[in-house]
């Protein structure tokens, strides 16, 4: 039972695809919207579960923080982080948050435009904390040259070939994942020369 206006439109089949939602950059507040469009093709993977502690008067209170990546291996990827007292609830919450944060991924070519786009359209950088992740287009057949964490995210995004370089403390998995996600989501906010408007001099 949808709560938001967007959810109702989706339920009444008024919206054909997720792309229409992204076009008007509407916030997706319900994970069911994502299930509706990508339900079958979505795969999620738990990147890491780590205990975090809060010091209270009675000692430490431990909660579990789960990082979950979700994607359909074809141009949509999301990242969710959730903290909870139990591992299962943390993972469940993280999956829902990952669905809400799903972004479209713009893919492009390296060199000549043959076949389907397979890599990132241009060099993009994402950062979170001290971690800086740079995605660099690669020729077809290269595969994803990167650490295990960004590799999972990039595979889920449906990027086949990509070089990466990372700076900073990449051992903080959360920030490493977030920085990669940031870079992936920037692919659509980057104005590449093929999208330039013709300047009309008056």
- pLDDT for 39-53, tens place per residue? 788 888 999 999 999
Mean pLDDT, the chain, integer: 90
Residue 195 — very low, low, confident or very high, per pLDDT cuts 50/70/90? confident
For 159-173, what is the mean pLDDT? 92
Please indicate, yes or no, if residue 163 is contained in any of the structural domains.
Answer: yes
Please indicate, yes or no, if residue 125 is contained in any of the structural domains.
Answer: yes
**Do 127 and 68 reside in the same domain of the chain?**
no
Q: What is the CATH number of the domain that holds 134?
A: 3.30.230.10
Please indicate, yes or no, if residue 201 is contained in any of the structural domains.
Answer: no
| Residue 200 pLDDT exceeds 90 | no
Q: With 0-12 CB in 10 A as exposed, 13-18 as middle and 19+ as buried, what is 22? A: middle
**Do 64 and 36 reside in the same domain of the chain?**
yes
Per the structure, the count of domains in the chain is 2
Please indicate, yes or no, if residue 197 is contained in any of the structural domains.
Answer: no
State the CB neighbour count (10 A cutoff) for residue 52. 11
Residue 145 CA from chain centroid, whole number: 18
| Residue 1 pLDDT exceeds 80 | no
Residue 75 — very low, low, confident or very high, per pLDDT cuts 50/70/90? confident
**Do 156 and 179 reside in the same domain of the chain?**
yes
Q: Cα(52)–Cα(78) distance, rounded to whole angstroms?
A: 23
From 71, 86, 103, the end of a domain falls on: 103
Which range is least confidently modeled, 18-22, 67-71, 98-102, 179-183? 18-22
Collapse the DSSP code of 165 into the 3-class scheme (helix H, G, I; strand E, B; otherwise coil) and give the result. Answer: strand
- pLDDT for 86-136, tens place per residue? 999 999 999 999 999 999 888 888 888 888 899 998 899 999 999 999 999
Per-residue tokens: 70:
């979700």
| Residue 81 pLDDT exceeds 90 | yes
Please indicate, yes or no, if residue 17 is contained in any of the structural domains.
Answer: yes
**Do 92 and 123 reside in the same domain of the chain?**
no
**Do 87 and 41 reside in the same domain of the chain?**
yes
From 72, 103, 134, the end of a domain falls on: 103
**Do 140 and 171 reside in the same domain of the chain?**
yes
State the pLDDT at residue 98. Answer: 93
Residue 58 — very low, low, confident or very high, per pLDDT cuts 50/70/90? confident
**Do 82 and 109 reside in the same domain of the chain?**
no
C-alpha dihedral sign at 148, 154, 156, 159:
negative
DSSP 141-156: T--EES-HHHHHHHHH
Listed residue (125, 133, 123, 134) closest to 176, CA to CA: 133
**Do 40 and 99 reside in the same domain of the chain?**
yes
Percent of the chain residues topping a pLDDT of 90: 53
Please indicate, yes or no, if residue 199 is contained in any of the structural domains.
Answer: no
């Amino acid at each position: 039972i949808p709560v938001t206006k967007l959810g109702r439109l989706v339920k009444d089949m008024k919206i054909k695809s997720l792309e229409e939602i992204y076009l008007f950059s509407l916030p997706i507040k319900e994970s069911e919207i994502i299930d509706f469009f990508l339900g079958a093709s979505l795969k999620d993977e738990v990147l890491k579960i780590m205990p975090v502690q809060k010091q209270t008067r009675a000692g430490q209170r431990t909660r579990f923080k789960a990082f979950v990546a979700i994607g359909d291996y074809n141009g949509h990827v999301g990242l969710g982080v959730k903290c909870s007292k139990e591992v299962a609830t943390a993972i469940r919450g993280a999956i829902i948050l990952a669905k809400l944060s799903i972004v479209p991924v713009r893919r492009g070519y390296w060199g000549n435009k043959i076949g389907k786009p397979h890599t990132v359209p241009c060099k993009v950088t994402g950062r979170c904390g001290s971690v800086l992740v740079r995605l660099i287009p690669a020729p077809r057949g290269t595969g994803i040259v990167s650490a295990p964490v960004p590799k999972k995210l990039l595979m889920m995004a449906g990027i086949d070939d990509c070089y990466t370089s990372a700076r900073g403390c990449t051992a903080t998995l959360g920030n490493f994942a977030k920085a990669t996600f940031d870079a992936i989501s920037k692919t659509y906010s980057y104005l590449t020369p093929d999208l330039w408007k013709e300047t009309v001099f008056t």
